[in-house]
Amino acid sequence: MSGPLPGVLAPVTMSASWFYRLAIRARNARFDRGVGVATVDRPVISVGNITTGGVGKTPMVMWIAQLLRRHDYRPVIAMRGYGSARGERSDEEAEYLDRLGDVPVVADPDRAAALREFLADHREVDCVVLDDGFQHRGIARQLDLVLIDASRETFADRLLPAGHLREPIANLRRADAVVVTRAESVDDALSAQIAQNLGKPPVAWSRHMWSDLDLWRAGGSDSVETEWLAGKRVLTMLGVGHPGSIVSQVQAAGAAVVVNVPVRDHQRYDRAKLAAARDLCRGLDAMVTTAKDWVKVRRLIDFQTWPVPVVVPRLAIEVFHGAGELEDLVLAAVAGSTAPPGHRAGSSGGM
């Protein structure tokens, strides 16, 4: 499996991976001894991964936050705020605030200090969902969830920078549970690989799905069914860690991807970049971008001159196997929190 750097650098990246392994081992040994691990006075649920790139953390964090809200908990999402410019919100922070209006977000590289300050002023908040927390071991947690993408060969991968592993696969044993993402069905072989390293099979299996599409044009936006894309010729601009899966979904909806504008994960857009995309859209039916991109792009688009509608899929996680077990784990982790008035510990609701 190729890594994030060109293959010609393989001799260098393989050697660098061994030094990276030693650094990870020393770092984890300190945390295992409790050195540098802070606690906050609310239960913490961590959602993380063991590889670089997108595995579905953002929709899974939303799934958990929505589950907690249905059970009358008041979570806060804590994150590093990767890729944000000074004074601006990060991509994921803006997306959370856009989709989860009643769930606050704390974005700060020093998550422990920022959380302590926030929680001291917000006694109504009774639990924390830590976005990208598996390697961020500086905050103690009651539940450590790791996501593994079924569409990637995680167990054949190498450590950074030779591969995409952020730490050795054997470190999965530190997790409380694994949730598989981007799966179409339960894969017995993948389940066995996870069980070999974690000590038990995945707690749940999930797939990415589009609930509907936000269609933006002059005059505002409309919510339309995914079938709207059928037969359309589109341009895609996908600044995420795993754009190929979105291209596949666009094509599965019946659209033809005529032009793909290559952009980086956490791409920072400017008017020149958008002007180039606008020119490429001429003669097409729509531009498709992600919610993470749209929170930045929409400030730069003048729909009076933009030639096509902009389609922003609403991405969600469907937990098709083990949903009840995953819900039980999450709710058990926060069961000791101080509930706000009217909290119903036994309330229920389907996702």
Measured between alpha carbons, how far is residue 276 from residues 127, 246, 273, 294, 311 in Å?
A: 44, 22, 5, 16, 18
- List the domains of the chain with CATH numbers: 7-203+322-334 (3.40.50.300), 210-315 (3.40.50)
User: What is the reported pLDDT for 90?
Assistant: 76
DSSP annotation string for 62-110: HHHHHHHHHTT--EEEEE--TTPPTTS--HHHHHHHHH-TTS-EEE-SS
3-class DSSP state for residue 193?
A: helix
Read off the tokens for 144: 């450590």
User: What is the reported pLDDT for 344?
Assistant: 32
Burial class (CB within 10 angstroms; exposed 0-12, middle 13-18, buried 19+) of 325 = middle
User: What is the reported pLDDT for 91?
Assistant: 81
User: What is the reported pLDDT for 12?
Assistant: 74
Q: Are 80 and 107 a contacting pair, CB within 8 Å?
A: yes
Sequential pLDDT tens for the chain (351 residues)? 555 655 555 677 888 999 999 999 999 999 999 999 999 999 999 999 999 988 999 999 999 999 999 999 999 999 998 655 555 677 889 889 989 989 999 999 999 999 999 999 999 999 999 999 999 999 999 999 999 999 999 999 999 999 999 999 999 999 999 999 999 999 999 999 999 999 999 999 999 999 999 999 998 999 999 999 999 999 999 998 889 889 999 999 999 999 999 999 889 999 999 999 999 999 999 999 999 999 999 989 999 999 999 999 998 899 999 999 999 999 999 996 443 333 333 333 333
User: 115-147 b/e with 16+ CB inside 10 Å = b?
Assistant: beebbeeeeebbbbbbbbbbbbbebebbbbbbb
Q: Sign of the CA dihedral 266, 105, 164, 31?
A: positive
Angle between helices 323-334 and 57-70 (to 10 degrees): 70
User: What is the reported pLDDT for 83?
Assistant: 56
From start to end of 247-300, where are the E strands? 256-261, 286-289
User: What is the reported pLDDT for 351?
Assistant: 35
What pTM does this model have?
A: 0.87
Residue 234 phi, psi (nearest 5): -130, 160
Q: Are 217 and 304 a contacting pair, CB within 8 Å?
A: no
